[in-house]
Chains A and B, each alone.
Chain A
């Protein structure tokens, strides 16, 4: 029987098919996670009057929600590593719904902090991370396009949520609106239902059928081995002891991979992004007030944000398509650094725009740059650390970004208050982002060179032991036929090989 020529280590991502349904689910999930904190700002004035607090106290609700969405990243990663994406997203959707429904019955601002801020924020965090992870599992060749499409959910949801929230508020007041928004957030459960598990050792049908067969095989083999001479028992016992020690460290790493902090690419990404987020969100928040400050009326100022959102919607999938092209994909990190620096340059040029047309042009370019960065935000991380470790990576990155995301707008606000002029805030944001872009560019250049060097060394190593390996290949082949290889099944397979050799040796003797 001819051995199969290529045995795969893990099933390669489908790059299509049900993947597009997953992209739609991620579109909805990511859209809610990013757009919801901004969308509920419409209710704040009424809530402020209702509870008799100051506006800043009510604005804390949004900040707490955003902080929890980013800060609960590691929790999300641990849960996904343990239970898989689908149950986590459905639980997250349920949590969001419960949070908003309970917020509809709140009687104090503290209760709002808890219900809307913590509970709904946690639910959104449990939505955001797994969506991004699932895209990595379902796509490889077309991953940038999938990422771009999924991230386009954020501006689309914002554009729909803003008028919807206004309509709900006018019809039902803030309490009724929160109740209905809770129901709308339950749609995240629908998105979660679309996240059909995929990957090694999960519900792949072939493995289910063959695992039973393999289990029977293993039992036979171990029985034979035990019946054999006792010397074979000792090496096996030592092996089990070693495995016990390894399990402890592996267990922690299984839940949250802290060894990522030794990963060069991950560290580069982390430092660059943490720096970037310091100046990322502030310009959007202060664009409308800046427009009003230079004398533009309220409606035109709001229209600037709409222009930004519309350009953003178009820019994200387009960036995905560009990033997927064969010229850009191998050098996607450079493209990412370029888009960050482009963003920074836009902000630096903004103070020159003193008329409405100038601001419109700025909004267009800002929307473009913002969309480009957001579309590739998670794609570049996946590219650096690879799909298996992405789960933990995204959790660790979001909790680090959480601090600077929250710091950025207040720092901008203090700059505006101390100098009385918006241009210093734009200059600060521009400088920070240009710095982050250049840092990422240089470090990624260095990273690419190191990766190329390591690849060469690995290939050189592989050349040598190839001659020794071919004998074992023959024995291993029929095992490979009946079993699907996966990382967790591999140690099992190696365990089998040794007693198997003994058995064969004895038979042949």
Chain B
């Protein structure tokens, strides 16, 4: 009963973390083409996870959850650069816990749509043990004799045959030296390869510059969606030097606030011309550091004032033109109407004269 309750609780927590990583994943990845495929694969992995939880391993997992807590959960459903086409790279991540080091599995289905190679990028924020597997698609199982090799750069890594047509390696990513590109190559009648890029999470900065004005406030935000950074540091580039913005440097003008676990904000008050330039936000993870670039432009209020005055002058000129044209055309109409009125009056006075003469005649 306890296991069932714990299973439900874990299921709920996993759903929450899945949602968090889903929402983070879709915005961070620039090359995401069809979201359908990725969400389906997430759903698949979720069902796989649920199946996992019914195993007796559940009890040991609970311990590890409690010690680590949910927001920093090790279930990182990595990010994939999904290749368009029928043979999409699928990924499953299953979690087993062994004391405090977690193990994550990533799989690549070969070949990719481009014909021979498929790549995927995996962002890791914590120390994990990673199992990378290359699976040969069933359609290509007719390829009999081939050589499988796993390499990182020039260094060959020994692999294990998981099944008849899948091969995997285990990498213990304990520090930044273990990050990089791992590729599996199948050499035979056809050469197929899959590449896993292991890296720290990328920081989302802003491509376009933030524009602010003298003596105003500038707010710059950096975020690593879906991940938690251990610490954030802000740098400012002055010429070629990078100056750390820390507590000792002009505390009243700089305000660094942590909006949430993955968002940091730098607020600069009372801007001056010198504050403009490049800014860097650096997030420190267990496995290394990652940087995001922001640009700040400080304008004087004269900059928008010039177009403003130009448009106001244009409006005034147009209104004056329209009013002048109207006065001119009414003057023309008035002179014409006056001429007509004079004519009518003239005719009336003639008639009036006739009538009064008639009346006089009648009286007489």
Contact = CB atoms under 8 A, between A and B. Distances in A.
Contacts of B299: 172-173, 176
Given A170-B208, A172-B303, A179-B305, A186 B311 contact: yes
A335 B319 CA distance: 39
Interface string A365-402: 00000000000000000000000000000000000000
A508 B363 CA distance: 9
B315 A186 contact: yes
A506 to B, nearest CB: 12
A184 B338 contact: no
Interface in B29-75: 34-36
A209 B340 CA distance: 11
B137 interface: no
A361 interface: no
B337 to A, nearest CB: 5
A193 B219 CA distance: 42
A206 B337 contact: yes
Size class of the A contact interface (CB-based, 8 Å): 20 to 34
Interface stretch (B11-19, B125-133, B149-157, B322-330): B322-330
A180 interface: yes
Interface stretch (B84-92, B210-218, B236-244): B210-218
Contacts of A190: 315, 318-319, 322
B219 A189 contact: no
Interface string B74-105: 00000000000000000000000000000000
A295 B211 contact: no
B333 interface: yes
B242 to A, nearest CB: 24
A103 to B, nearest CB: 13
A186 B311 CA distance: 8
Given A193-B318, A295-B35, A172 B211 contact: yes
Nearest to A292: B35
Size class of the B contact interface (CB-based, 8 Å): 35 or more
Given A50-B217, A173-B211, A179 B308 contact: yes
A194 B4 CA distance: 77
Interface in A175-224: 175-177, 179-180, 182-184, 186-187, 189-190, 193-194, 196, 203, 205-206, 209-210
B213 A175 contact: yes
A183 B322 CA distance: 19
Contacts, number: 83
A357 B184 CA distance: 40
Nearest to A194: B322
A482 B208 CA distance: 71
Interface string B197-225: 00000000000101111001101010000
Contacts of B221: 49
B305 A295 contact: no
A104 B216 CA distance: 12
Of the candidates B265, B319, B359, the one having the most CB atoms from chain A within 10 angstroms of its own CB is B319
A249 interface: no
A507 interface: yes
B341 A209 contact: yes
Given A183-B315, A196-B326, A203-B330, A173 B341 contact: no
B312 interface: yes
B212 A187 contact: no
Given A180-B311, A203-B330, A209 B35 contact: no
A183 B307 contact: yes
Contacts of B35: 295
Contacts of A171: 211
A176 B265 CA distance: 23
Contacts of B208: 170
Contacts of B216: 175
Nearest to B213: A175
B334 interface: yes
Contacts of B319: 189-190, 193
A248 interface: no
B175 interface: no
Interface of B: 34-36, 208, 210-213, 216-217, 219, 221, 265, 299, 303-305, 307-309, 311-312, 315, 318-319, 322-323, 326, 330, 333-334, 337-338, 341, 344, 347-348, 351, 359, 362
5 contacts: A1-B347, A49-B219, A171-B211, A176-B211, A206-B341
Given A1-B347, A49-B219, A193-B318, 19 more contacts: A1-B351, A52-B219, A170-B208, A172-B211, A173-B210, A173-B211, A173-B212, A176-B211, A176-B303, A183-B309, A183-B312, A184-B311, A186-B315, A193-B319, A205-B330, A205-B334, A209-B338, A482-B344, A508-B362
